Structure 1
Amino acid sequence: MLARFLLLAAPLAALALPSRPATLKRTHERRSVLPHQWEEHADAHPDMRVPLRIALAQSNLDTAYDELMRVSDPESPDFASHWTAKQVAEFFAPSKNTLDTVVNWLAEEGIDRSRVKQTQSLGWIEVSNLTVTEAEALLDTKYKVYKHASGKPTLGCGSYSVPEHISKHIDFITPTVHFDTRVNSPRQEQRRKRDVEPGVAKNIGQPWSGSTPKQGASLSAASIITELEQCGSQITPICLQALYKLPIDYIQFATSKNSYGIVEYTPQSYLPTDLDMFFEQFLPQATGKRPTMDSIDGGNIQTEYEGFDYNGESDLDLQYSMALVYPLNPVLYQAGDMVEGASFNNFLDAIDGAYCTYDGGDDPTQDGVYPDYATGGYQGPETCGGYAATNVISTSYAYNEADLTPFYETRQCNEYLKLGLQGVTVLYSSGDYGVAGNDGQCLNADGTYSANGIRFNPSFPGTCPYITSVGATQIIPNGTIFDAEEASQSVIYSGGGFSNVFATPSYQTSAIKSYYANYPPPYTAAQYNNSEAVRGLPDISANGAFYVVAVDGEFELVFGTSCSSPTFGSVITLVNDARLALGKKPVGFLNPTLYANPWMMNDITTGGNQGCGTPGFESVPGWDPVTGLGTPNYELLVAKYLTLP
């Protein structure tokens, strides 16, 4: 681990310390309530070691959104002029002035420069061998030991302060309000910081996470529909092709240039026999095909556990994505070992090596930490880079926005912006519990969870303005593919609402303004952020009910936005094929083009997304926080995108 750092003693010795009178410190971060299942345990011992990490402010974040729009806005002459990974890294690297200013501040506070180290990527600096007493003086704070419900201790504080001239040069400091470090006594300092309590983020693949699809009735092969008129009771690949005007037996011309990625989190995994069972029924020529697997942090197709809770998600995602984009073979990003699992950050590490360390690196209480020396754990090196990002990436998992700190979410959200600059389309399912969070969790006014909470609980990364959030629809009861769909209200409810963290992006401003002007929801600030100035979700939708999926040797009906995201991703993958065949670039970040051309979507105007003791929001003409702009029309999408540069 230490090999990743560069000692700054020599280059920093030449820095001149500015002559400045003592300055007052201002609060940089504050946590108003403790994270879920954490409580204050005791004061921190003065001699405990604090492995202080300072996330340096990146350069050009103030102009990054404009640059993303420049390559994503359909009216821009630079549409699809995507950047290379090297261009992105250089653009966002912290400036020399930022580095010098922070290091000078540490020296002024009496911290010897021999204790200051910087990562090779320049994203953050570490202060070694710092005691609690020193850290409290530096940050004008009081450290406490906090305990999780499991009993695992963590060092943290309720708030911390830095001088005003320093604040603009740092993103955040840990361990502070993020609870990301185990307590280490002086004797324990040399021990590896490894055994930390798994957080919400890296439990995303567990059956109890609440973000996986929902199981319906079992079917016999003989009872599976064969006529499009029956798609209201069962969804099969041909139903989706008809619903969204996808070409049947389409001859793709650019499979060698095109790519589509599906992200899965251990212990979720597909069964090869299930793929074959599905393809024998619906696409015989694909029988025997397997996705191209990129193993992240020991990810593998585990067979230790089987059942819908372990195979349903991956079977669903791969069966439909592979069928809809055949003969293109999707990439399966399988993340995490069986012991520790993985988070979205672990996946992002694998496709961007710089992300492993920038802005303080991963959070040990939320993200997988590798090598994993526990029995049965993946003991290889952490996967940092090495895998290419596919043109389209679909993820059928989500957190609650309230589960994570705004800084954790902002750091990750900025990474999606960087992927968008490189021409990657990132899709996330919006959730299956309407305005409530995973498993129907709602919030109290202070942000804590409660069975009786009335405050809506939006999903993340769906609230990040740099991804495309996908909600769920269904064919109306007793309807056919020729009838308009409605918001999904069978078994699951399309996740949607408004962020408590992210402001409204410019591409969504007009849609949000129109929504509030014409269809103001009947709720107050007690239920949700009704400021009319925050990001709304989802952006679009696709069918998410009654999917026929082969799981553990049986056909099952499956429900969820887990169905919707890979389906929409398949549509965009086929649009990319058409563009690539003409020598154009992939479409990249979708939202600016979708919001500027809502006529490309099938508007959904009926159905709601109940939750938190309310009917939720309602689908209305135009964008709404239930189904977004609507469902895809491939013919209109490809026609529009082929006119763009």
Structure 2
Amino acid sequence: MRLHYSLTLLASAVLLWTGTSASPTPGHHVVHEKRSSPPPAWTKQERADGNMRLPLRIGLKQRNLHHADEFLDSVSNPKSSKYASYWTAEDVADMFAPSDESISSVKLWLLESGIPASRVSVSPSKSWISVVNATVSEAEALLQTEYYTYEHYFGKKHIACESYSIPGHLSAGEHIDLIMPTLHFDAKVVPGRDDLSKRDAQTVQAGAAKNVGKNSGFLPKQGAHLNPQSIISQLEHCDTQIVPNCLRALYTFPPGFTAHPGNSYGIVEYTPQAYVPADLDMFFANFSKKQVGQRPILASIDGGIVQQEAQSFGYNGESDLDIEYAMSLIYPQTVTLYQVGDEVEGASFNNFLDALDASYCAYEGGDDPSQDAAYPDPLPGGYKGAEDCGKFKATNVISTSYGYNEADLTPAYEVRQCHEYMKLGLQGVTVLYSSGDNGVAGNGDQCIGSDGNYNNGTSGRFNPSFPGGCPYVTSVGATQVPTGTNIVLSLATGTQPEVACETVIYSGGGFSNVFEVPSYQAAAVSHYLTTYPPPYTAAQYNNSGKARAFPDVSANGANYVVAIDGGFSLVYGTSASSPTFGSVVTLINEARLNIGKKPVGFLNPALYAHPWVMNDVTQGTNPGCGTPGFNATAGWDPVTGLGTPNYLKMLGLFLALP
């Protein structure tokens, strides 16, 4: 399942990336990257001044990435003799660090191009090479390109090119990944900002915060407000309200009763999203009385704070939901809250990953300022501390309920980040991401038009999510208990009480336009496409049969009872599904640790090899883009994945593994 960028699959995206088949002979330049047009909202202006200075950086390719799947499979495939023999962070860094040959080859190219050695520097991680005080004229000659000034409609100006070339032996010889600044538009665009207390919560909910991407995140949807006296107390009513005991009954897991010191569960939130302490106590008073007064362990990343200045569903709904359910479901174990980014700048998934892995901060040229926050924050009121690189330890399970559209980002950006999830898997970390809340459509119900731009979602190409489409994460879709279903009777008679979620939200699912189908999933995807062929063409989705498909699993995502801003509300979304599934995995880790075994790590190979440990969901669809979407079927499907967790069966499987 080696990661790649597919030109055919990306033809409808805004950015078109190409390589070349030219002979990789030394000195012969070939096109390394190019784009067909600037990103939306940018307009090409005049040629850049040749004397202008550029912060020219050359990102080096890491070694041994072609063995990444083999390495990860060896520690996560239940048939492997090395199952759960996880690597250390040092092992990972050493294995994938760029080679000395890459460094020397690139330095020689620069020297032969007239760049003196005194102006060339190599980063401590050996991940990138910088040319000090490079001018536009030097960069144009070096890369055989032309730089222009581009202007954003907010007024921000940026220097970029439309394509660039490098010697063929460097491009094809696994030495250079990307060069910046070139066509990546690594420009920070910041419109005018109001004080936090004056911000419109709906703006946050629509995705203006950097952490959820350019269009929208998987922020949950709010339903009816509840009178506390109307909250259910009997499992027979889980069709109208979901409370912790409903989830325990659905997925056959008991309340926690031990707290192994080596067990840990992390929930990731992005400022200004924040939980309200009083909401936690209100929830615990109703569903977990021993936890009143308890709080998650705060891991503040890049100035992340649990802000209390602005309170509304848009600010507190996600965090309250995630933390209330995660804490109550795994008690007496604790939850670590990774609170990422300051109030002004926010943060991205890469900022979070930087905090876990110091080498990632600089890997392949470092973060992209057009998507990732830069710290110290230069904006007024921003966090002035240094960027957190490798400061925090990864928990055994990490759940994130946010996401981008895959088409929001460049393939290079996504592949770089996806490799980091692979590295976490090598270290025994389970990484869960919500699959999305709009069926086959993207955030905000947007689909991809024939011109490559987003439309209103009534038609067009399906819009898969990221990181849910990364083959090194476990993507979690959503189910629901249909109205009128008594789960007690269903469970007693062996009847599946859940279907794909079709209330308020639809389970995100589909096929990636960037990543290949991983080996662990290939048979399941082939069976679905052959046995239940979708009635769509390549104009609507990647029907090649060779694409990574998602979600992998699912959990309930409808009618959650959540305490928010002093009252109870019903909440919907895969934002609920991911932390619930993560809680089940954490309880399984607890049992393994208690008998001297290691956490389960990357789940997918074991689950696809043993689908019988999941509750198969065979009804429902995930509509979008003017279509019914895909169908839930017997076996894996791109609506609910392999199904929902069956704790007892999963526990039996994982306790039997080394």
With normalisation by structure 2, the TM-score equals: 0.90
- Aligned pairs for 1:94-105 (under 5 A) are 94-105=98-109
Partner of residue 82 from structure 1, selected from 76, 83, 86: 86
Query: Matched residue of 2:515: which SS?
Result: strand
Q: Which residue identity is paired with 2:650?
A: L
Which residue in the other structure is 1:411 paired with?
416
Partner of residue 255 from structure 1, selected from 260, 279, 283: 260
Q: Which residue identity is paired with 2:618?
A: T
Structure 2 distance, partners of 1:201, 1:213, is: 15
Which residue in the other structure is 2:506 paired with?
493
Structure 1 distance, partners of 2:598, 2:343, is: 38
**8 Å Cα contact 1:153-1:182 kept in structure 2:** no
**8 Å Cα contact 1:33-1:447 kept in structure 2:** no
Q: Does 1:563 align with 2:576?
A: yes
In 2 relative to 1, CA 201–584 (structure 1 residues): closer, same or farther, beyond 3 Å?
farther
Which residue in the other structure is 2:476 paired with?
470
Give, in angstroms, the shift of residue 64 of structure 1: 1.4
Query: Matched residue of 2:185: which SS?
Result: coil
Structure 2 distance, partners of 1:356, 1:232, is: 46
Which residue in the other structure is 2:233 paired with?
226
Partner of residue 346 from structure 1, selected from 335, 348, 351: 351
**8 Å Cα contact 1:292-1:329 kept in structure 2:** yes
Structure 1 distance, partners of 2:157, 2:218, is: 27
Structure 1 distance, partners of 2:425, 2:26, is: 43
Which residue in the other structure is 1:189 paired with?
none
Q: Which residue identity is paired with 2:595?
A: L
- The Cα offsets for residues 442-495 of structure 1, whole Å up to 9 and x where unpaired, read as 112343212265111100000100000000000012113224311110000000
Query: Matched residue of 1:89: which SS?
Result: helix
- The Cα offsets for residues 311-345 of structure 1, whole Å up to 9 and x where unpaired, read as 00000000000000001110000000011000000
- The Cα offsets for residues 191-248 of structure 1, whole Å up to 9 and x where unpaired, read as xxxxxxx998961259973420000000011000000000000000000000000113
Give, in angstroms, the shift of residue 130 of structure 1: 1.2
Q: Does 1:330 align with 2:343?
A: no
Query: Matched residue of 1:450: which SS?
Result: coil
Which residue in the other structure is 2:169 paired with?
165
Give RMSD over aligned pairs: 1.8
Specify every segment of 5 or more residues in structure 1 that has no aligned partner in the other structure, as ranges: 1-19, 184-197
Which residue in the other structure is 1:528 paired with?
541
Which residue in the other structure is 1:596 paired with?
609
**8 Å Cα contact 1:435-1:616 kept in structure 2:** yes
Structure 2 distance, partners of 1:295, 1:39, is: 38
Query: Matched residue of 2:433: which SS?
Result: strand
Which residue in the other structure is 1:194 paired with?
none
**8 Å Cα contact 1:469-1:538 kept in structure 2:** yes
Which residue in the other structure is 2:560 paired with?
547
Specify every segment of 5 or more residues in structure 2 that has no aligned partner in the other structure, as ranges: 1-23, 190-203, 491-495
Identity percentage of aligned residues: 60
Give, in angstroms, the shift of residue 373 of structure 1: 3.0
Give, in angstroms, the shift of residue 304 of structure 1: 1.6
Partner of residue 583 from structure 1, selected from 596, 599, 608: 596
Structure 1 distance, partners of 2:207, 2:46, is: 24
Structure 1 distance, partners of 2:41, 2:644, is: 38
In 2 relative to 1, CA 605–468 (structure 1 residues): closer, same or farther, beyond 3 Å?
same
**8 Å Cα contact 1:292-1:332 kept in structure 2:** yes
In 2 relative to 1, CA 36–580 (structure 1 residues): closer, same or farther, beyond 3 Å?
farther
- Aligned pairs for 1:1-40 (under 5 A) are 23-40=27-44
Q: Which residue identity is paired with 2:149?
A: V
- The Cα offsets for residues 411-440 of structure 1, whole Å up to 9 and x where unpaired, read as 100000000000000000001011111111
**8 Å Cα contact 1:207-1:310 kept in structure 2:** no
In 2 relative to 1, CA 43–201 (structure 1 residues): closer, same or farther, beyond 3 Å?
farther
Structure 1 distance, partners of 2:110, 2:70, is: 34
Structure 2 distance, partners of 1:550, 1:265, is: 19
Q: Does 1:635 align with 2:648?
A: yes
**8 Å Cα contact 2:215-2:443 kept in structure 1:** no
Structure 1 distance, partners of 2:302, 2:50, is: 36
Which residue in the other structure is 2:441 paired with?
436
Which residue in the other structure is 1:288 paired with?
293
Give, in angstroms, the shift of residue 129 of structure 1: 1.1
- Aligned pairs for 1:110-509 (under 5 A) are 110-167=114-171, 168-181=174-187, 203-204=210-211, 209-248=216-255, 250-252=256-258, 254-451=259-456, 453-481=459-487, 482=490, 483-509=496-522
In 2 relative to 1, CA 208–397 (structure 1 residues): closer, same or farther, beyond 3 Å?
same
Q: Which residue identity is paired with 1:80?
A: A
Structure 2 distance, partners of 1:326, 1:298, is: 28
Q: Which residue identity is paired with 1:468?
A: T
In 2 relative to 1, CA 96–201 (structure 1 residues): closer, same or farther, beyond 3 Å?
farther
Q: Which residue identity is paired with 2:129?
A: I
**8 Å Cα contact 1:214-1:491 kept in structure 2:** yes
Structure 1 distance, partners of 2:45, 2:440, is: 34
**8 Å Cα contact 1:392-1:425 kept in structure 2:** yes
Structure 1 distance, partners of 2:90, 2:517, is: 29
Q: Which residue identity is paired with 1:165?
A: H
**8 Å Cα contact 2:213-2:371 kept in structure 1:** no
In 2 relative to 1, CA 450–61 (structure 1 residues): closer, same or farther, beyond 3 Å?
same
With normalisation by structure 1, the TM-score equals: 0.92
Give, in angstroms, the shift of residue 136 of structure 1: 1.2
Once the two structures are overlaid, the 10-residue window that deviates more, 123-132 or 259-268, is: 123-132
Q: Which residue identity is paired with 2:183?
A: V
User: How many residues are treated as equivalent by the alignment?
Assistant: 610
Give, in angstroms, the shift of residue 152 of structure 1: 1.3
In 2 relative to 1, CA 414–365 (structure 1 residues): closer, same or farther, beyond 3 Å?
same
Once the two structures are overlaid, the 10-residue window that deviates more, 257-266 or 378-387, is: 378-387
**8 Å Cα contact 1:158-1:176 kept in structure 2:** yes
- The Cα offsets for residues 175-199 of structure 1, whole Å up to 9 and x where unpaired, read as 112111479xxxxxxxxxxxxxx99
Q: Does 1:93 align with 2:97?
A: yes
Structure 2 distance, partners of 1:207, 1:326, is: 36
**8 Å Cα contact 1:540-1:629 kept in structure 2:** yes
Q: Which residue identity is paired with 1:485?
A: E
Query: Matched residue of 2:656: which SS?
Result: coil
Query: Matched residue of 2:338: which SS?
Result: strand
Give, in angstroms, the shift of residue 31 of structure 1: 2.1
Structure 2 distance, partners of 1:315, 1:207, is: 23
Which residue in the other structure is 2:623 paired with?
610
Give, in angstroms, the shift of residue 47 of structure 1: 1.8
**8 Å Cα contact 2:26-2:167 kept in structure 1:** no
Q: Which residue identity is paired with 1:284?
A: K
Q: Does 1:65 align with 2:69?
A: yes
